[in-house]
Structure formats: structure tokens, C-alpha cells
Amino acid sequence: MKIILIGYMGSGKSSVGRELAARLGVRFIDLDAEIEIQENVSISKIFSEKGEIFFRKLENFVLQRILQLDENYVLATGGGTPCYGNAMEIIIGQKDAISIYLKTSVDRLIARLVTEKDNRPLLAHLKNEAELNEFVRKHLFERSYFYNQAGIKVENEGSVSDTVEKITSLLF
């Protein structure tokens, strides 16, 4: 089984994905890390030097390559992955995969993102927590159409272990 985690940045896709993969005894793949390995440069640098459009095309290409792997794994996508091009269509069209939306409250997202703002290309320009709050609320509203197409939706307000437990109880 291929498990594809989607959700807004800061929703815990990588943390939940690592623990879920360990619990299931399968490989964990982080889409952003795979992109950085392929390009031999950070996501931030790709955004600053080549722009978001280049990044989104590259992200879609790497996503499709990973989805073609003939093995079981847990994949943590980027926050914007399902929202560009035909990515969500490809994700939900996978026969041997299940998509899971880690649904996280705006307040929880902001609490996580306020300390990581400078390391996230889409947030680095924001000057304070009020701007971050407004940006996240608007952005999440725009992206929720794509996220809500996931096969499973999991409220992600507790610990990583709690979320992994919720996911495994829904899958098995």
C-alpha cells in the first residue's frame, strides 16, 4: 500500500509520515527531500533562483516518478503539491494508494509556522504574526478544495502518535 499524506505546510506530514512508516514497516519518502536530492540544492534556493513555476513543474515530475515505484511506502508531499497542475488528480487516481489529508486548525498551523517562517519560501516575506495569520487563513481556504478530495481526512490536533493511531485504525 502507498500512503500519500497531504495537508498545509506545518500540518505534520513529515513527522506523522516518519512514525507511520516505521509503525507499518515501510519506507518513508519526503517529496521535498527527494526534490532537493535530485537538484542538489534547497527548496528555498530553487524558489529564489528559478521561481515557483519551475518548482511546481519539478515537484509534479518527481511526484509522478515516486508514484510509479513498485513498493509500499508513506509519502509526505509538500503543502502545495496537490494544488498545482494535475497532481491531485494523479494522487487520487492511483489504484494502489490512499490519500490522507492531515486536517490541522489554523491556530495550530500558525503556532508551528511562526518559528519556521524564515525557512519557508512562501512565508519568508511576512513581517509579523498578524500577516502570517491572514496569509495562512486565506491560503488554506484556497487550498482546502484540493485537500478535501483526499480519500481519508484525519483531524490532526494531538500528538504525532495520536495522529498515527487514528490513521492506522482507519486503514486496518
For each of the domains in the chain, give its residue range(s) and CATH number, in order of start: 2-104+147-167 (3.40.50.300)
Residue stretches of the annotated binding site for substrate = 32, 56, 79, 143
DSSP character string of 5-47:
EE-STTSSHHHHHHHHHHHHT-EEEEHHHHHHHHHTS-HHHHH
Q: Which residues are annotated as a binding site?
A: 10-15, 32, 56, 79, 120, 143
Give the residue among 109, 52, 113, 106 at the shortest CA–CA distance from 84.
52
Q: Check residue 3 and give its pLDDT.
A: 98
CA proximity to 61, closest of 82, 96, 87? 87
User: Would you list which residues are annotated within the binding site for ATP?
Assistant: 10-15, 120
Annotated binding site for Mg(2+): 14
Instruction: List pLDDT tens digits, range 12-64.
Output: 999 999 999 999 999 999 999 999 999 999 998 998 999 999 999 999 999 99
